[in-house]
Amino acid sequence: MKAKIVINGYGTIGKRVADAVSVQDDMEIVGVVKKSPDYGALLAEKKGYPLYAPDEEALKVFEEAGIKVKGTLNDVLSHANVVIDSTPGGVGKKNKLIYDKYSGLKQIYQGGEKPDVAEKSFSTLCNYEEALGADSLRVVSCNTTGLLRLLCTLRKIAPIEQVRAVMIRRAADPREIKKGPINSIVLNPVKLPSHHARDVNSVVPDINIVTAAVVVPTTLMHVHQVTVRFREKTTLEKIIEVLSSAPRIMLVDTGRTGIKSTAQLIEAARDMRPRNDIPELVVFRDSIALLNGNELMLFQAVHQESIVVPENVDAVRAVMKLAKTAEETVEKTDKSLGLRREFFY
C-alpha cells in the first residue's frame, strides 16, 4: 500500500515536491493544498493533482474564480498518512496545531521553520537512520542541505576538525518581484556567525562550524566558499574520488565544460531539466584545493528552488519506514528523479 501524502503549500518547494512524490512507487499524492486561485492553482489542476483549499473561506474564493477544489485541508488530512508542509516560513508552526489533531498523521516541515517545530531536523546523508519512524521531521533549508551533503560526505575521508564557510546568497527566486537588493552587497547577518552554522549543528551537533553570509543581486543559485580542516592528512585524489562517487553531489569540471558561474550552470540545466532544476549539490572540481595536506578549500553552488526536493521524498520514507537505510532511499529517490553525479552531458 502506498503512503498517502498531502502537500500543504504549492509554491516553489511544494510544486517540485509534488512532482517528485508523484513518480515514487511507494507513495501517492492524495491532496495538494493551495491558498489562492492563481497560476499555481491552474498548474496543479492541469497536472491532475487533487486540489484542496486551506479552509471554507478560501474554498469559496476558488469557486468564485471557477477553479474546482475537492474540499478543505481538514477533509484531506483525515485520510492521509503524511503531510508535507511547504507553506512560507513560520506558517508551518501555525499549521502544526491543525495537524496535531490527526493522530497518526506524520508531519514534514521545511527549513524556514525553527528546529523546534519537529522532533528532528533532517538531512538524508547525515541522519536518515536516526529519523526512522519519527512523528515529525524538519528538512533543513537549501543552504544547510548543501553544507550537510558536503560535510557528511567529507567526514568519510577523515574526522573534521573545523569548518568555515562564506555563503554568497541569491537575493530572490526568479519569480519574486518584490525582494532585493538590486545593487548592493548586504551582510546578512552583520554579526557572525550566520544561522547556517547552528542549522548544520541541528542535524550534526558535533561539527565545529562557523558561517558568514552575504546577499547579492542575483536570482539563480547560492554559492558557498567552504574551508574544511581535517584532523588527519589526506590527499587531493582521495577527496576527488570520494566527492565524485558520492550521491547528491555533481562534480563540475570547468576545464571540460567552461562553466565557472551560476548563470552557466543554469543554462546547462535549462537544456536538460524541467524548470532548469539542479537538485544535486554542485561542487566545482577545479576549485578544490588542499593546503598542508589537511585544509580543503572549494566552491559549491546550491539551487535554492530544488536542492531540498530529494530530502523531502526521503523524509517520507523515514517517517513511514519505507526504506531501512539512507542508501536504500537515496537509490530509489535519485533514480526516479534522474539525479546525476557527473555533469549533464
Provide the annotated active-site residues.
Answer: 142
- Alpha carbon 257 to chain centroid, angstroms: 26
Judging by DSSP bridges, how do beta strands 106-109 and 3-8 pair with one another?
unpaired
Cell readout for 184 is: 548592493
The whole-angstrom separation of Cα 163 and Cα 165 is 6
Which residue number, 21 or 197, has a Cβ lying nearer to its own copies?
197
151 binds its own copies (CB under 8 A): no
Q: What is the dihedral of CA 324, 330, 335, 341, to 10 degrees?
A: -150
Give the one residue of 219, 234, 244, 336 binding its own copies; rule: CB under 8 A: 219
Give the one residue of 22, 36, 225, 294 binding its own copies; rule: CB under 8 A: 225
Q: Which of residues 259-288 bind its own copies (CB under 8 A)?
A: 260-264, 284, 286-287
Least Cα distance to 307 among 87, 144, 178 occurs for 144
Give the one residue of 240, 297, 336, 341 binding its own copies; rule: CB under 8 A: 297
The whole-angstrom separation of Cα 59 and Cα 285 is 50
Give the one residue of 82, 212, 250, 307 binding its own copies; rule: CB under 8 A: 212
191 binds its own copies (CB under 8 A): yes
Give the one residue of 30, 204, 209, 223 binding its own copies; rule: CB under 8 A: 223
> For its own copies, which stretch binds (CB under 8 A), given 64-72, 97-105, 238-246, 290-298?
290-298
Applying CB under 8 A, what is the total number of residues that bind its own copies? 44
Cell readout for 167 is: 555563503
Give me the phi and psi of 187, to 5 degrees please: -70, 125
User: Please, are residues 125 and 326 in contact by the beta-carbon 8 Å criterion?
Assistant: yes
The whole-angstrom separation of Cα 96 and Cα 101 is 9
Which residue number, 43 or 186, has a Cβ lying nearer to its own copies?
186
177 binds its own copies (CB under 8 A): no
Minimum CB distance to its own copies, residue 117 (Å): 28
Q: What sign for the dihedral angle of Cα 108, 111, 113, 114? A: positive
Cell numbers 497518526 correspond to: 104
161 binds its own copies (CB under 8 A): no
Give the one residue of 23, 65, 187, 236 binding its own copies; rule: CB under 8 A: 187
Residues found near its own copies in the complex (CB under 8 A): 164, 166, 168, 170, 181, 183-193, 210, 212, 214, 216-223, 225, 227, 254, 260-264, 284, 286-287, 289, 291, 297-299, 301
